[in-house]
Amino acid sequence: MYRPIRASIRISAIRHNFGVARRHAGNARLWAVIKANAYGHGLLRVAAVLGDLADGFALLDIEDALTLRDSGVDKPILLLEGCFSTADMQVAAARGLSVVVHQPEQVRLLAAIRPAAPVPVFLKLNSGMNRLGFPLSRCRDVLQSLRELPQVGSITLMTHFAQADDELGIAEPLARFRQASEGLGLPLSLANSATLLRFPEAGGDWSRPGIMLYGGSPMPRLASAASLGLEPAMTLSSTLIAVQEISAGEHVGYGGLYRAPQARRVGIVACGYADGYPRHAPTGTPILVAGQRTATLGRVSMDMLAADITDIPGAGIGSPVVLWGEGLAADEVADAAGTISYELFCALAPRVPVVTV
């Protein structure tokens, strides 16, 4: 290996985290959400890990869905944004995919195909996120249009809550959704990770755990991943490749953003923003060197970053470094950088070797 950086994916953690989701889901079936290359953890890797546990897999791209089918996955697969052309809708039908329908054009796409078997549809309603979904007031009209199409098989009502991860919660949008769908007797898919963990009353028939499967907290301002019983699935690690002894008043890194108030030992880590580490992570972002907690110094470079090892006298060239993962929650690193763990995982660069442990 040319550089010492690597991302280790711990299979047992993914399975453990799925077990946490299962315990919270009650009788609901579970879509394992593996969009964005399984949040950077590897599409086929995670599908194989959860193949005997998940009731189905949810993702965005039809190409990824076909990759799963071609690899032998025969469980339900849900396209979370649906299809965007008649050709893709025809392929989805032919390969036994379920599709989200969230706008009128997708109803027309369904009407234009001639599938061998009816297509399972998840009718998405907008309960306040204001991204995708039909207005709640149109629920019954759209449902009637779908029911008139022989191309449509089972129909599940679906929504996504905008504030399941904060203090406001879901009470108001859930009440509006319940009112709009009252008496329809259709299965429901309501719960992402935050909803699943916080609001069992919104369990529905299909839940959609995502970030929690990978050990990130879906609500880091309210609860840490560890407090939720989740284990880190990805550990980004490297080593020190150089050590600098600097005097008081000297600077570290591009732009001289960090100026030493006194003499410091600085360890240079083989990891930078080209590896997926956030360039905007400021001085003070937590990092582990030789198993001890310390902090980054100065601006993150393309291929390197600096860590304060003044109080780690045993640290030197070759000392192990954890950027996030085992011993250092990704949520904590993300918070210091003003982002969320989702972005850290998804930003992992292709040049970083990934190993399964």
* Residues with catalytic function: 35, 254
With beta carbons less than 8 A apart as the criterion, state whether 283 and 275 touch: no
| Helix (H), strand (E), coil (C) string for the chain | CCCCCEEEECHHHHHHHHHHHHHHHCCCEEEEECHHHHHCCCHHHHHHHCCCCCCEEEECCHHHHHHHHHCCCCCCEEECCCCCCHHHHHHHHHCCCEEEECCHHHHHHHHHCCCCCCEEEEEEEECCCCCCCEEHHHHHHHHHHHHCCCCEEEEEEECCCCCCCCCCCCHHHHHHHHHHHCCCCCCEECCCHHHHHHCHHHCCCEECCCHHHHCCCCCCCCCCCHHHCCCCCEEEEEEEEEEEEECCCCEECHHHCEECCCCEEEEEECCCHHHCCCCCCCCCCEEEECCEEEEEECCCCCCCEEEECCCCCCCCCCCEEEEEECCECHHHHHHHCCCCHHHHHHCCCCCCCEEEC
What letter represents residue 168's amino acid?
L
For residue 94, give the nearest of 80, 114, 76 by alpha carbon: 114
Which residue's entry shows tokens 């839940």? 207
For 95, the token pair is: 């390969």
For 340, the token pair is: 């969320």
Strand partners, 206: 29, 189
